[in-house]
Amino acid sequence: MEKILFNKVVEGLKHLYDADVNLKQIQIQQTRKEFAGDLTVVVFPFLKASKKGPEQTAEDLGAYIQENTNEVKAFNVVKGFLNFSISADYWIEVFNKISLTNNYGHSVGSSKTVMVEYCSPNTNKPLHLGHLRNNFLGFSVANILKANGYKVIKTQIINDRGIHICKSMIAWQKFGEGETPESSGLKGDHLVGKYYVEFDKAYKVEIADLIDGGMDKAEAEKEAPIFKEAQLMLLKWEEGDEKIRALWKKMNTWVYSGLDVSYETMGVDFDELYYESDTYLLGKDVVEDGLAKKEFYQKEDGSVWADLSHTKLDDKILLRSDGTSVYMTQDIGTAIERYKKHTDLSGLIYTVGNEQNHHFKVLFTILEKLGYKWAEGCYHLSYGMIELPEGKMKSREGTVVDADDLMEMIVADAKEMTQERGHLDGMNENEREELYSTIGLGGLKYFLLKVDPKKGMVFNPAESIDLNGNTGPFIQYAHARIQSLLKKAEELGFSKEYSDVEINAKEQEVIKLMNNYPSVIKEAGIAYSPAIIANYIYDLVKEFNNFYQTVSILKEEDKQKVAFRLCLSEQIGVIVKSSMLLLGVNVPDKM
């Protein structure tokens, strides 16, 4: 309809004022809710051509377009804004097209391939609440890009080496007494995380003892025996010591098994895995080559730096004085390797918290400095941190919220809430447990995704599973209500075949929102923001609930209207399910 109206605006300005306006000046937008109408044209840019005031210009143009456009049934003017009401017949035609379109809202045919990186855990501890937002955000963005027709590669880089990994290994050797996930009953990542904490406890005791012996704190931190053992272990690992490598592989395998369980519970997956143990040496050759070509410079101590003064960024070290690389070096090398492996890659999206904003600005600047044109397609999907209501949710370590604990708790809360409501008749125990998980995890995901990624947020577990307001369960319940309606209609023998039918204002409002779905998916893909999808679904479900509560469906005497309203409800259910899946959220048929 926007295209039709656009063309009529051009035609009307030519007819009324013999004016050829700049097409970029034609602004068509959704009419604001407080005014009557469906689409609004802003007339201020046309005043030079009309040589009239905004209201008279809008009246002239509105009258011409209404007279010459079958789809326009009325218009009204609010200062310089021309609001058009579109005919009911047009909206019925729109709905008919929607209901006949497979995978409505999704695009096909894009030749672009995009890689989305998310999660990127350390193998010395389990995932936490921040990882949940990261995983849900990256996974959802991947789904949204797929819906926009892109080929998407989901990936993560696992931080599986370094001093922090050795700390867990040393502690396990000292205090573990051969403990395994099987003997302890702990998930592998939790078991290894336990020994990371044990290392820290022992380390602090040794530091205190050295300080009591007269050593200053800074020196004590370096000289603590357990820390020096971890340093020596890292050196042996880098030299390829067989026993150290064997222990490293064994404990990392425990972690990977534990993480796989967490990923399955979250409902996320990956197409490719990268390991820091394979990538940490990448980039050194690139930097040395850049130094030879004078793209980088070397200081007197032998360290190599990138001069970024032209971008007002501080210079960045790329190789230490001893020739070892830093994180930036391996990120440069890994990016280059990914583009070598996937020659059709047109974009690389890093899902990382906003504390790394500077890091990625520097990374992309250096890649551009090295002449890689594809660096323009690199994007940091930066997201804000999550805070918790004071006094809620402390992890085993007492500092962060454990992801597994939180998911288990939220499902338990959903179970309690669902059992209190009832509505579980006819469901066996497995079906009930699946429903609790669907509601709890759906509420968690939706709550973390409905906020714009760039914004920080406060996460309240109780609010996330509330059946009222902008929550996942509120939307899930609408889907279940629709399925119940359709089942009842089928049992009563109602038909969904209709021909000539008149629709009311409530039905038109629902169809208008349904009509926006493709553009919402596109907008969310451009902005890399699942929040756009989430808040669209909420608006659609609110409009459906308004329709459901005020318009009779199965008790309507006109069978044509019954059939149409059943089809309308069914299609809303399809869009709700489709859009929630873009967020990684499942919707139940019964709730």
Single residue among 240, 267, 294 that ends a domain in this structure: 267
Give the Cα separation of 530 and 255 in Å (integer).
29
Which of the 8 DSSP states describes residue 410?
H
- Model confidence, pTM: 0.91
Q: What is the pLDDT of residue 348?
A: 97
Residues of the chain by 3-state class (helix, strand, coil), percent to 5: 60, 10, 30
Q: What's the structural domain count of the chain?
A: 3
3-state secondary structure of 175: helix
- Which CATH number belongs to the domain containing residue 80 in this structure? 3.30.1360.70
Q: Which residues contact 496 (CB under 8 A, 6 or more apart)?
A: 489, 563, 566, 567, 570
User: Could you tell me if 48 and 186 lie in one domain?
Assistant: no
Residue 522 lies in a domain: yes
- Which CATH number belongs to the domain containing residue 550 in this structure? 1.10.730.10
Q: Is-contact 197 164, C-beta < 8 A?
A: no
User: Could you tell me if 428 and 577 lie in one domain?
Assistant: yes
User: Could you tell me if 430 and 576 lie in one domain?
Assistant: yes
Single residue among 267, 283, 311 that ends a domain in this structure: 267
Type of residue at 517: Y
- DSSP string over 506-547: HHHHHHHHHHTHHHHHHHHHHHT-HHHHHHHHHHHHHHHHHH
Weakly modelled stretches of the chain, pLDDT under 50: 391-397
Task: Count Cβ atoms within 10 A of the Cβ of residue 313 and give its class: 0-12 exposed, 13-18 middle, 19 or more buried.
Answer: middle
Residue 557 lies in a domain: yes
User: Could you tell me if 70 and 183 lie in one domain?
Assistant: no
User: Could you tell me if 417 and 566 lie in one domain?
Assistant: yes
Single residue among 202, 232, 267 that ends a domain in this structure: 267
Closest CA relative to residue 588, chosen from 331, 76, 576:
576
Partners of 190 in beta bridges: none
Q: What is the pLDDT of residue 9?
A: 94
Q: What is the pLDDT of residue 398?
A: 53
Residue 363 lies in a domain: no
The helix or strand, by DSSP H or E, that contains position 235, with its residue range, turns out to be helix 225-239
What's the token pair of residue 556? 């309507």
**What are φ and ψ of residue 160, in 5° steps?**
-110, 15
Q: What is the pLDDT of residue 399?
A: 59
User: Could you tell me if 65 and 188 lie in one domain?
Assistant: no
Q: Is-contact 555 410, C-beta < 8 A?
A: no
CA 387 from centre of chain: 18
Q: What is the pLDDT of residue 267?
A: 97
Type of residue at 201: K
Alpha helices in 110-187 (DSSP H): 129-147, 163-175, 181-184
Residue 483 lies in a domain: yes
**Residue 554 CB coordination number (10 Å):** 12
Q: What is the pLDDT of residue 307?
A: 94
User: Could you tell me if 428 and 564 lie in one domain?
Assistant: yes
Residue 244 lies in a domain: yes
Q: Is-contact 140 449, C-beta < 8 A?
A: yes
Residue 71 lies in a domain: yes
Partners of 589 in beta bridges: none
Which of the 8 DSSP states describes residue 563?
H
Range of the domain at 183: 163-267
Q: Which residues contact 393 (CB under 8 A, 6 or more apart)?
A: 129, 401, 405, 406, 409, 461
User: Could you tell me if 429 and 526 lie in one domain?
Assistant: yes
The arrangement of strands across the sheet holding 28-30 comes to: 28-30, 39-42, 81-86, 72-78
Residue 381 lies in a domain: no
Q: What is the pLDDT of residue 426?
A: 82
Q: What is the pLDDT of residue 252?
A: 97
Q: What is the pLDDT of residue 397?
A: 45
Residue 203 lies in a domain: yes
Q: What is the pLDDT of residue 110?
A: 74
Where b means 16+ CB within 10 Å and e means fewer, 47-56 reads eebbebebee
Give the Cα separation of 265 and 181 in Å (integer).
19
Q: Is-contact 372 342, C-beta < 8 A?
A: no
Strands (E), 93-163: 113-117, 151-158
Closest CA relative to residue 83, chosen from 134, 28, 46, 138:
28
